Amino acid sequence: MSAAFGFNVAANGVRLHVLRYAGQGAPLVLVPGITSPAITWGFVAERLAQAFDVHVLDVRGRGLSSSGPGLDYGLDAMADDLSALIGALGLSGVTVLGHSMGARIAVRAASRNAAGMERLVLVDPPVSGPGRRAYPSRLPWYVDSIRLAERGMDAEAMKAFCPTWSEEQRALRAEWLHTCHEPAIVTAFEGFHRDDIHKDLPGLPVPATLMVAGRGGVIEPADEAEILELNPDIRIARVPDAGHMIPWDDFDGFFLALDELLGTSFARAGA
């Protein structure tokens, strides 16, 4: 098991907090979703560290990174943070693994400045955007839980929002959700419907793979077909029994899909 240590980096005009799960392999930067501080991905990062040197980012407005009023919480700013972080750390040959919003950040970052990036792993990104169907989650789900967390909530209270998660997972989310700055979350959610990531897919300068949650309702077969039409080189793996929060729903299935996409051997190592 890899022990994490945290540190802060000045990049793109903000403070970015990173948790590093040091491994012997090539660097991997994990970019979480809309309300997932870095620490909540620790159980995934520990196994990833069997094959990668893992850095998990607190996206601005979340966790211990810069937050509060006056910051730009739009997609381009978050994408530029990712590129600036890779540069500030002097990383090269980076696998960028983004989940949900983090996958959209990865796509936009690669399209704007792919320096240091070797490949993208896009885990169930929202495919909403201008003129497209809405993202299936609703904004009050996020806002209501954040406001409760700001007042103080425990794992039992979090069960109303994450009923299938383990008590440990719910407790960790309850502990850290208050660090998600509500205006940052609202801006990101609105961006799911305003920002067009499809326009970035044909010209991606690095290879990309896509992991789809079979029960997530975020990416449907027609979406997969459109993505492949825009970029036929994107390889796709599915996790049939998982919802959108794939490793929470099917931890082993998440790593089986990574093995399929990356040629790793997590499943064999974890047996």
What amino acid positions are annotated as catalytic residues? 100, 220, 244
How many Cα atoms sit within 13 Å of 71 on the Cβ side? Answer: 28
Helix, strand, coil fractions of the chain, as percent rounded to 5: 40, 20, 40
User: What are the residue ranges of helices labelled H in the chain?
Assistant: 42-48, 75-89, 101-112, 139-151, 155-158, 167-176, 182-194, 221-230, 246-249, 251-262, 266-269
Burial (CB count <10 Å: 0-12, 13-18, 19+), residue 235: middle
Name 55's bridge partners.
20, 29
> Which residue, among 108, 87, 90, 115, has the nearest Cα to 31 in the 3D structure?
108
